């Protein structure tokens, strides 16, 4: 764009103002984190989908799509398994037009999944790193996580300048009426999606969600570490690959992935058992000799015990692993903040009350924990949530803490200045709940 710098700044400022009025903060459906979302997910998907189509048709014309049938099938089968899992966490994405392409480009170490589920991987990543299936699943799991956690909309919201650039290129192409240029517009728009860095928080989320999708899909979580090691060796940390594109520095991200190994290995083992059971079923069905008896011969964990592994009841979407939630379940969560946290609880009390009323127990527990406010009402919420979710011992512990807290002026909502109990008499309500357990 041939615009003087001041006009540029003015233009960006104006756009920011307009968009700030139109949009706002949204809670990430996958992680519970607040995101600045100024662009709707649907509009991000539309932009990404047409950018992807244009980019792929240009690459196709240049003969840059892989014709390696075995490789394409391999990538397809891995992404299919990951998408099946992603849909269990976010059922509405079942209607996304998920698809994957393999781009023949031995020099590029990259892969992406755009908002709406359009994926691609460059052969450079596959061949240069000589990735195993488990490692490939980590790459694509990470990319799919960006998409289901709506990082695209967040990225666009945080990087409005990029919108102006794309709009500028599009305007230039409209005037020229040049077909080639129109194609380039699509490719440029797609590149904006692919190359704009995600925030550090988004990268950490994608790492965490990706390793879980892969583990559920039957891919070894240890591959997340070996993949990182390979990437760092290969690129020396200077790569366009999404994994390495942002802070925090790799050692910190590897550390986080290492911390997740224990719970993810549990999920991986569970998915292996389920795969074995389904293989047994398939082979038995093919032989038509006997009905498989999964209960005795090849036991799949019963639903009740699987529920304790951050699963949700049947028919409910899965929830991602959370260390805080695990602590809550075991009854070890503590609310440690006094007066300074009253305001954050006060601001959330409407939401908490609503979650309590409609029985959104997991969300209630997570939100209450986030406030960290040592209050009888907060412990009461934790106790009721734990009891309703089937963590009886934890529920008893929190309800007793609620009763204890209600006896002290500092931690009782009956005496609260900001936060009030409403119609609840915490002591009586907690005792009643305990008596029913
Ligand atoms: Zn990423």
Compute the distance from residue 338 Cα to the ligand 1 centre, in Å. 37
CA of 198 to the centre of ligand 1 (A): 7
Structure token pair of residue 6: 């001041």
Joined together, the tokens standing for residue 9 give 């700044």
- Dump pLDDT digits (tens) for 99-111: 999 999 998 888 9
- The percent helix, strand, coil of the chain (3-state, each to 5) is 65, 5, 30
DSSP 198-259: PPHHHHHHHHHHHHHHHHHTT--THHHHHHHHHHHHHHTT----GGGSSSSPHHHHHHHHHH
CA of 141 to the centre of ligand 1 (A): 10
- Residue 363's contacts (CB-CB under 8 Å, 6 or more residues apart) are 32, 355
Which contiguous run of DSSP H or E holds residue 26?
strand 24-27
Q: What local confidence, expressed as pLDDT, does residue 394 receive?
A: 97
Tell me the CA–centroid distance for residue 138 and ligand 1, in Å: 11
| Local structure of 110: helix, strand or coil | coil
- Predicted confidence at residue 118, as pLDDT, reads 97
Query: Residue 97 Cα, ligand 1 centroid: separation in angstroms?
Result: 21
- Does domain 333-435 match CATH 1.25.40? yes
Instruction: Work out the burial of residue 389: count CB atoms within 10 Å of its CB; fewer than 13 is exposed, 13-18 middle, 19 or more buried.
Output: buried
Q: How far, in Å, is the centroid of ligand 1 from the Cα of 181? A: 29
Structure tokens at 384: 């009721």
**What pLDDT, on a 0 to 100 scale, did the predictor assign at position 304?**
36
**Residue 305 confidence (pLDDT):** 39
Q: In angstroms, what is the span from residue 372 Cα to ligand 1's centroid?
A: 30
Spans of all domains in the chain: 5-259, 333-435
Reduce the DSSP state of residue 120 to 3 states and report it: strand
Q: Angle between the 133-148 and 69-89 helix axes, to the nearest 10 degrees?
A: 50
- Are the CB atoms for 129 and 108 separated by under 8 Å? no
Which sign, positive or negative, has the C-alpha torsion 224, 229, 230, 231?
positive
Q: What is the token pair recorded at 138?
A: 């980590």
In the reported structure, the alpha carbon of residue 206 is separated from the centroid of ligand 1 by a whole-number distance in angstroms of 6
Q: What is the pLDDT of residue 112?
A: 94
Report, as ranges of residue numbers, the positions in the chain whose pLDDT lies below 50: 1-13, 15-23, 247, 289-310
Q: Collapsing DSSP states into helix, strand and coil, what is residue 8?
A: helix
Q: How remote is the CA of residue 231 from the centroid of ligand 1, in Å?
A: 13
Ligand 1 centroid vs 113 CA: distance in angstroms?
10
Close Cβ partners of 194 (under 8 Å, ≥ 6 residues apart): 110, 112, 114, 242
Helix, strand or coil for residue 136? helix
Distance CA 387, CA 364 (A): 12
Ion ligand 1 contact residues with beta carbon within 5 A: 203, 206, 242
Distance 20 CA to ligand 1 centre (A): 26
């Amino acid at each position: 764009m041939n615009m003087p710098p001041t006009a540029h700044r003015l233009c960006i400022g104006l756009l920011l103002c307009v968009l700030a009025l139109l949009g706002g903060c949204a809670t990430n459906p996958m992680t519970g984190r607040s995101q600045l979302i100024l662009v709707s997910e649907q509009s991000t998907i539309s932009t990404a989908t047409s950018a992807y189509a244009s980019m792929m048709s240009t690459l196709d014309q240049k003969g840059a799509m892989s014709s390696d049938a075995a490789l394409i099938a391999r990538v397809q089968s891995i992404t299919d398994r990951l998408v099946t899992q992603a849909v269990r966490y976010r059922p509405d994405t079942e209607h996304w037009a998920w698809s994957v392409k393999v781009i023949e480009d031995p020099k590029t170490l990259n892969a992406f999944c755009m908002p709406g589920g359009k994926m691609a991987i460059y052969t450079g990543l596959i061949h240069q790193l000589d990735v195993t299936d488990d490692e490939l699943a980590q790459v694509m799991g990470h990319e799919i996580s960006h998409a289901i956690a709506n990082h695209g909309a967040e990225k666009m919201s945080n990087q409005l300048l990029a919108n102006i650039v794309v709009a500028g290129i599009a305007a230039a192409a409209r005037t020229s009426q040049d077909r080639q240029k129109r194609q380039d517009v699509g490719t440029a728009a797609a590149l904006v999606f692919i190359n704009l860095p995600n925030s550090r928080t988004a990268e950490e989320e994608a790492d965490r969600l990706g390793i879980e999708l892969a583990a559920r899909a039957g891919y070894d979580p240890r591959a997340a570490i070996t993949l990182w090691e390979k990437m760092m060796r290969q690129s020396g940390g200077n790569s366009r690959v999404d994994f390495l594109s942002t802070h925090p520095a790799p050692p910190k991200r590897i550390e986080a992935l290492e911390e997740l190994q224990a719970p993810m290995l549990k999920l991986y083992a569970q998915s292996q058992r389920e795969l074995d059971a389904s293989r047994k079923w398939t082979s038995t069905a093919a032989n038509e000799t006997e009905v498989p008896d999964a209960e005795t011969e090849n036991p799949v964990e019963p639903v009740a015990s699987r529920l304790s592994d951050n699963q949700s009841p049947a028919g409910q979407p899965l929830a991602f692993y959370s260390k805080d939630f695990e602590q809550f379940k075991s009854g070890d969560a503590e609310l440690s903040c006094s007066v300074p946290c009253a305001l954050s609880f006060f601001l959330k009390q409407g939401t908490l009350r609503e979650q309590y009323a409609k029985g959104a127990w997991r969300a209630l527990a997570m939100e209450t924990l986030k406030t960290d406010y040592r209050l009888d009402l907060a412990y009461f919420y934790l106790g009721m949530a734990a009891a309703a979710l089937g963590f009886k011992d934890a529920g008893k512990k929190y309800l007793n803490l609620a009763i204890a807290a209600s006896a002290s002026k500092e931690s009782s909502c009956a005496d609260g200045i900001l936060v009030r109990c409403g119609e609840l008499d915490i002591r009586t309500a907690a005792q009643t709940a305990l008596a029913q357990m």
